[in-house]
A and B are shown apart, each in its own frame.
Chain A
Amino acid sequence: MTEVLLRIEDLVTRFYTELGVVKAVDGNSLHLGEGESLGVVGESGSGKTVTALSVMRLIENPGRIEGGRILFRGEDLLQKSERQMQRIRGKDITMVFQDSLSSLNPTLTIGEQITRVLRFHLRLSRRERWRRAVELLRQVGIPEPEQRVKHYPHQFSGGMRQRALIAMAISCSPQLLILDEPTTALDVTIEAQIFELVEELKRAFRMGTFLITHDLSVVATFCDRVVIMYAGKIVEEAPVTALYDRPLHPYTRGLLGSIPPLEGGKARLDSIPGEVPDLISLPPGCNFSPRCRLADERCWREEPPLEHPGPGRRVACWKAGETGG
């Protein structure tokens, strides 16, 4: 049994917009062990990124974390001061965002951007910081790191920039690395390389990874466990193999149905009809019911509780496991 690194309990994060209150994360709980990989899957607006930003305590106006606890190595991050959080961010918990070009400062060299992170978190001399920056670039597979460290982001290719961002994120050997759709802007071949790299680093540092994606096929190769989110709520959680063998929630089945099979199979992919509901005015009952083929009276009226149908599994559905011929 591994130690629990991160435990989120009943997290509620809301945004108070002019149009109304957006329930971006609505009472979710999840946990992540040391060195474990958790995939968080859902469509845009399902609350994946807001969950991650809540862990980082980077929710900004008009957003507010309104309830719950975020325990990192047993300590509640929601009780920390901004100063304490500054020491945790970048050092113990870091986050890599999806668009590597806009995520790097265009006016500083890659080396300057890595060394300034080192400057704030570690006691190293200037020379040691630069040596370490070169070493980090080498570690993430950037060729000729001695030269590359002096280059600006726009002189890097997309894949190289994402590697550089990862180098920055792991520069202080964090225990938790949050990846927010890190490969969306990249080619599939580059995507595979990036995940190989993260896998390697994860093993080398026993780093827990929190991978946000909308792509279940990425999760299959990279994660140990998956959490499926829909409209701000966790609807299903399972170990990766179990999820693929027997998805319980109709939404999960819909997501899996939209992945093309490797050989033969159907000519047409399944799609989930309709779209993600408006988070300001959610439907009564189950959030997914308006799009669900199996939904009946009860689904439209009552919200299904998150239940434990098996070891390591959770699902919130009145019709869990039914395929509905």
Chain B
Amino acid sequence: MRAYLAKRFLFGVLTLLVTSLLIFSLLRVVPGGPVDALIGEEWDDPELRAQLRRDLGLDLPFHRQYARWLGGLFRGDLGVSLVLYRGEPVGGIILERFGVTAQLAFISLTIALLVAFPAGIAAALWKERLPDHVFRIVALGGISTPNFFLGIALIVMFGVGLRLKWGVGGYVPFGEDPWGWFLRLLLPAIVLGTDHAATISRMLRASILEALGRNHVLTAKAMGLPRKEFLIQDVLRTAMVPVVTVIGNSAGALLDGAVITEILFRLPGLGSLLVQGVYARDLPLVQSVVIVAVGIRIAVNLIVDLSYALMDPRIRYGRGQ
């Protein structure tokens, strides 16, 4: 187990290194940088430009700049915002924004699971009958509706049509107004949750149908166990591994920040921070946001992999192959 964890950790760090180099190079290749953003492209004052580049460390050769950023990352220093939040450390900004994204992800995933489980189970148990057909169509709709469309539709309905204060987005901290906090996160959470709910419920359906055909389900029936008992212990329990993989993917995707939805609903999360950073050409901010998002994804994947062992005792890490 310890060896397995060490190996996974090492691979995670390696992945982060490679992506960090990738992001860093890409951002340097793109024309325009913080200097242009700060003094404007039209202001043609080479003296001032050179001065600014020196001050910001942008005159250093590529590898020195990269090494500086990387060194900072290892010390837990994500750099300083140059344009958007002039002089503020990026770490603090990301932490604050991630809080909003995490709250949104939590509500969204909760809604998705509350919908997906009953739907997936019902679709499997009434296979090829009405509930299955209904959920199939709804799920297809959920997967194929683009988030921007669903988001706008909800804003038009609740915000414009019903003139509800929370229907047009915005963010209120939980501590200030818990109910307002929930209402404002509700619509974007629904927007983000629909395709996750659809994917999870479809996976659950397939997984349950596969489990229903297993021999140990027949044994359970032959031992006279009631339906509820074998459906939970023999069918659902053994059907969970692939479903948890999908749930983990959803959690990872949600925690990375949702660009379009956060902007539509004016939520100060990680996704909208990234877009603002890009527009402002705030290089340190953008590269650190991306690397944090990658780190979150790697961590979520590891947690998902470790959770398999809880569901299936045959899965053990680190011993043998």
Residues of A within 8 A of B (CB): 56, 58, 85-91, 94-95, 97, 99, 102-108, 116-117, 120-121, 152, 154, 165, 168-169
7 closest cross-chain pairs (CB), A and B: A90-B224, A89-B224, A90-B223, A102-B215, A95-B222, A105-B216, A103-B215
In the complex, which residues of chain B have a beta carbon less than 8 angstroms from the beta carbon of A85? 224
Question: Complex formed: what's the CA distance from A90 to B223 in Å?
Answer: 4
Residues of A within 8 A of B238 (CB): 105-107
* Contact flags B74-109 to A (C-beta < 8 A → 1, else 0): 000000000000000000000000000000000000
B215 touches A168 (CB 8 A): no
Nearest A residue (CB) for B313? A152
- Contact present for B233 and A116 (CB under 8 Å): yes
8 contacts between A and B (CB under 8 A): A86-B226, A91-B224, A94-B222, A97-B215, A103-B216, A105-B238, A106-B314, A120-B224
Q: Is the CB of A105 within 8 A of B220?
A: yes
Say yes or no for B68: interface residue by CB 8 A criterion. no
Instruction: Give, as a whole number of angstroms, the nearest-CB distance from A207 to chain B.
Output: 15
What is the CB-to-nearest-CB distance from B64 to chain A, in angstroms, rounded to a whole number? Answer: 54
Chain A hits for B59, CB < 8 A: none
Complex Cα distance A97/B219, Å?
A: 7
Cβ of A57 to closest chain B Cβ, rounded Å: 10
**Contacting pair A117 B225 (CB below 8 A):** yes
Q: Are A165 and B224 touching (Cβ within 8 A)?
A: no
Inter-chain CA distance A88–B225, complex, in Å, is: 10
Q: How far is the CA of A106 from the CA of B240 in the complex (A)?
A: 13
Residue of B nearest to A151 (CB): B313
Q: Is B234 an interface residue (CB 8 A)?
A: yes
* Total interface residues in chain B, CB < 8 Å: 21
Contact residues, B254-300 vs A (CB, 8 A): none
Task: Provide the bound-state CA to CA distance between A88 and B233, in Å.
Answer: 21
The complex places the Cα of A102 from the Cα of B216 at a distance, in Å, of 6
Kindly state the separation between the CA atoms of A104 and B230 in the bound complex, as whole angstroms: 12
The reply to whether A105 and B234 form a contact with Cβ atoms under 8 Å apart is yes
**Taking the nearest CB of chain B, how far is it from the CB of A194, in angstroms?**
17
A121 to B306 alpha-carbon distance, docked (Å): 37
B221 x A58 contact (CB < 8 A): yes
Which of A56, A106, A116, A154 has the most B CB atoms < 10 Å from its CB? A106
Contacts of A97 in B (CB 8 A): 215, 218-219, 222
Q: How far is the CB of A241 from chain B (nearest CB, A)?
A: 32
Separation of A95 and B237 alpha carbons in the complex (Å)? 23
A90 touches B222 (CB 8 A): yes
Is the Cβ of A89 less than 8 Å from the Cβ of B216? no
User: In the complex, how many angstroms separate the beta carbon of B198 from the nearest chain A beta carbon?
Assistant: 27
| Residue of B whose beta carbon sits closest to that of A112 | B233
- Decide: A120 and B219 in contact? CB cutoff 8 A: no
Q: Is residue B130 within 8 Å, beta carbon to beta carbon, of the partner chain?
A: no
Contacts of B224 in A (CB 8 A): 85-91, 117, 120-121
Shortest CB-to-CB span from B145 to chain A, Å, is: 34
**B36 contacts the other chain (CB 8 A):** no
* Chain B residue nearest to A83 in the complex (CB): B226
Q: Which residues of chain A are within 8 angstroms of B313 by Cβ–Cβ distance?
A: 106-107, 152, 154
In the complex, the answer to whether A120 meets B222 with C-beta atoms within 8 Å is no
Contacts of B233 in A (CB 8 A): 105, 107-108, 116
Contacts of A121 in B (CB 8 A): 224
- With A97-B215, A103-B216 known, 12 other A-B pairs at CB within 8 A are A90-B225, A94-B223, A97-B218, A103-B219, A105-B220, A105-B233, A105-B237, A107-B237, A107-B312, A117-B224, A152-B313, A168-B223
